[in-house]
Amino acid sequence: MRVVLRLTDGVLRAIEQRLASVPPERGGALMAAGGLVHLLVEDTQGCYSGASWDISAGLSNAVGVLEREGHGVLFGTVHTHPAGIPDPSGTDVKTTTEALALNPHLKELLIAVVTAGEPRDDDLSIGEHHRMSLHVLRDGQRPALVRVRGRVVPLAADMSVAGIGFRSATTVDSCFREKGCEAPPETLPGVLYVNQRPRLAITIPDAEQGVLLVDPDYPTIGPLVFAAPSNGPRPQLTPLASPWDPVSAPGPQLAALVRAATGRRLADSGDRVWPLVGRLAERRVLVAGLGSVGSRMTEDLVRCGVGHFTIVDPDRVEGPNLSRTVYSAADLGALKADALERRLRAIDPAVAVEKHPTSIGKTDLPALLTDADLVVAATDDMNEQALLAHHAYAANVPLVACALYRAAAAGEVVLAVPEAATACWLCAVGPKTSSGSYRPDSNYDLGGRLAGEVALGPSIHLVAGIASSLAVGLLAGPDTPAGRPIKQLLAERRTLGLVTTTPHWEFFPKVFQGMDHQYAPQSVWVRVEPTPSCPVCGVSREPPASPEEGFALAGVISDLRDEECTTHEDERSTEVPAG
């Protein structure tokens, strides 16, 4: 069985330009990373004639320097022959045998011969007029010379699609000029080991030390991507998700990995959104709960251009999540925070994500809310929802909350905007309002969390989509097309939206009686007034001193609700508008 050697297209191009472009003979050394030949070191100090090449001592020294600097290991030599001599000469074999003896760590060396003419079987084409034969000399008591086939790895071409250039050649002279190469050695591809496997390290432009680590079996095995954040005092390379499909075109995949490493947003990605919302790249959103509602709303927001997220959820992705979230089977077992970050970065490589894989009650909410422009409350724990809503109102941060009712037959969307003096979340949907009776039952094994419900993803996404629209409008502002419709809702205190995903739900037939053209989905927007004595949105409101106090608010509001709050129970017969 014949051996196949792998050489990059960049090396072949360098051989064509530097060796085959001048009369024979001309030569140099070849260096490799894990068997992938990637670098030509031209012997600019060699002694040449029309039929010979005396290898210079400088070439050996240059190869030693490059090896010590971590740019690969010696793999063999390449040189040109006069026309009609396409294979190694006896002198070539003798010289290479001596090189093997001087390098006991090497078990074989390549002899590549370039000459004019049409390629024979197993020869590689070098430009339009030359061919290159490949021969491996293996160490032993009687060294054996074996002709092998070559395979071109289109690494340089693929990298150019991603906007990356890298050097495939240097010279002996440049390696000893001043501090190094014509481009210093550090600008040449290096070799790093990952799990004891060498990989070719190619620097990513504009990535603050970002690097692609290319496997010797590229493109069957995709590269690893590492990047250093630019905002840290001592940036450290951190791995980024590097999905790779070996049967798809590698160029576009490399471009996507480079965008992820550089945080480079596609220039036209927001062309169909920005006219409606403006530029939201500097907006910061805190999202609590990354399930079917929270994950969907977060994806909606990043697609609208929001550039900063703080995401909070302690759970991992499980099989039932796949039916109605943004996660995939590849995310099973991963923390939802990690899986959602990967999803967001795949959409917008420039997005900034701060992850907190814990419960709301275990976070420093005042700190998380310091720079937030909006809070998305989408937890399945009503105690934590109350705590988050209280802190957000106290911090003067607008909140959009979304929750689904049993079987996702309907759901609720709550707007709480402290600057507009709206009612808070508890005044709108707290205990002893009809919202509580519509929600799934509590799962008493999980504190205040609600039990999982059988429900269709489209039904959940319909309600979440309305919440996303409101969230985008609040972020965009009242003078934008996305924000203007919210002004009327806030002015009229209609900050509780009830949305049905199924026909004939609860009191909706009565509200829409005689309107035969109406069908699901439908919505009503209920007027909710703050309770004056409410500790969250009332006159004497104060932030909770502890999570326990925040959790206890549910009971406090329950008592006040009976006496003073205006709820949608009061609105059904008089104030409910058709949605």
Q: What does each C-alpha distance from 77 to 53, 168, 285, 461, 511 come to in angstroms? A: 11, 15, 58, 62, 86
Token look-up 């954040």 returns 229
Strand partners, 152: 7
Looking only at the bridges linking them, the beta strands covering 169-171 and 36-42 are parallel
> Using CA atoms, how far apart are residues 10 and 18, in angstroms rounded to an integer?
12
- Structural domains in the chain, CATH included, are 4-172 (3.40.140.10), 193-262 (no CATH), 279-571 (3.40.50.720)
Exposure class string for 179-210: b at 16+ Cβ within 10 A, else e: ebbeeebeebbbbbeeeeebbbbbbbeebbeb
What distance lies between CA 529 and its chain's CA centroid?
Answer: 43
Token look-up 């905002």 returns 231
> Using CA atoms, how far apart are residues 465 and 469, in angstroms rounded to an integer?
6
> What 3 state SS string does 8-53 have?
EHHHHHHHHHHCCCCCCCCEEEEEEECCEEEEEEECCCCEEECCEE
In 3D space, the residue among 399, 418, 411, 404 whose CA is nearest the CA of residue 450 turns out to be 404
Q: Does a cis peptide bond (omega within 30 degrees of 0) precede residue 349? A: no
Position 29 scores a pLDDT of 97
| Under-50 pLDDT residues of the chain | 1, 178-184, 186, 230-235, 444-448, 546-579
> Using CA atoms, how far apart are residues 163 and 251, in angstroms rounded to an integer?
10
Looking only at the bridges linking them, the beta strands covering 108-116 and 73-80 are parallel
Q: CA geometry: angle at 383 spanning 380 and 386, to 5°? A: 100
Position 167 scores a pLDDT of 93
Query: What pTM was computed for the model?
Result: 0.69
Q: Is the distance from CB of 330 to CB of 246 less than 8 angstroms?
A: no
In 3D space, the residue among 357, 373, 366, 370 whose CA is nearest the CA of residue 388 turns out to be 366
Torsion of CA 422, 425, 428, 432, to 10 degrees: -150
Position 570 scores a pLDDT of 38
Q: Is the distance from CB of 222 to CB of 253 less than 8 angstroms?
A: yes
Radius of gyration (C-alpha) of the chain in whole angstroms = 33
